[in-house]
Structure 1
């Protein structure tokens, strides 16, 4: 399993018991979706290694208490501390309407209500305070903020996202 085929679920933050149980901080708004997992991938030195889950339960809202098969004492648990957890992309819950996962819209076409076809989404820049669509328009990069007020419609069937951006925003990138 490659990292590109997975999504980041969270990180093992501390040991819970002397029997090898661990607590993981989940990076999700809905931790209860991940309460009954059979297995999980743990990033060990850059390799995703599958671990089978003997038992798991939510612990204090956003922590998941995990007991892995073959992790039976503190030494085994210590080896997994601070490790990142991953799951295959197909386990992501399906989103409806104008909600989407960043990886899901790569390759979608952006259409602006006033401007028309803007270009194709090549990536999402989420390193800034406001996440941005990175759009390629014939070799010119256009950045559009991923603002709920701008996003009119996500059309998964036709792989398009309709936006309504402030007048002149797209033109800023196209003026010579």
Structure 2
């Protein structure tokens, strides 16, 4: 499985028992939908995704999934996977509707302002700052648009467009 075909679910945070159980921190608003997984992909050496099959699992203190993997039978074997990131195939993401969207879903969408019309294509999402930003390409010019619910009018999945009502001057200052 390629990392591009997966989404980040969380990280193996710590050991839980001397029998090799681990706690996976789930980076999600709905941890309960991941309680009965058959398997996950664990990233080794920042490049290889290895399938790990789950013997049993249950939620632990809201954000953690207590997991017993097949073939991880003791503390030493559990130590080898502590800190590793955990992924699932994109097809396992719950479908979002309306103006809710996954960041990867809108890459390649055109971005349109109610006043200016289409002014570029979303090439990336920058979520490293306090406010996530759409990185938009207009020819050779990169435009950064804050992802603010108040500005968002519609996610038009059929026409691959993000329609916004942006403050006057925000886009123009880049052009």
Please state which band the TM-score falls in when normalised by the shorter chain.
over 0.9
1:138 alignment partner in structure 2: 139
- How far apart are residue 118 of structure 1 and its match? 1.1
Paired residues, number: 174
**What whole-Å deviation, never above 9, does each CA across 1:10-63 have from its counterpart, x for those lacking one?**
111111111111011110010001001100001111211100001010011111
Q: Hey, what's the Cα distance between the residues in 2 that align with 1:166 and 1:21?
A: 52
Q: Tell me how far 1:107 sits from its aligned partner.
A: 0.6
In structure 2, what is the Cα distance between the partners aligned to 1:138 and 1:15? 50
Aligned pairs for 1:57-96 (under 5 A) are 57-96=58-97
- The 1-side partners of 2:153 and 2:80 are apart by 47
| Structure 1 counterpart SS, 2:153 | strand
- Give 1:14's aligned residue: 14
Structure 1 runs of 4+ with >2 Å offset? none
Unaligned runs of 5+ in 2: none
Residue equivalent to 1:115: 116
Provide the alpha-carbon RMSD of the alignment.
0.8
The Cα offsets for residues 120-168 of structure 1, whole Å up to 9 and x where unpaired, read as 1011111111111111112211111000000000010110111000011
| Residue 154 (structure 2) aligns with | 153
What stretches of structure 1 of length at least 5 have no aligned partner?
Answer: none
| TM-score normalised by structure 2 residue count | 0.97
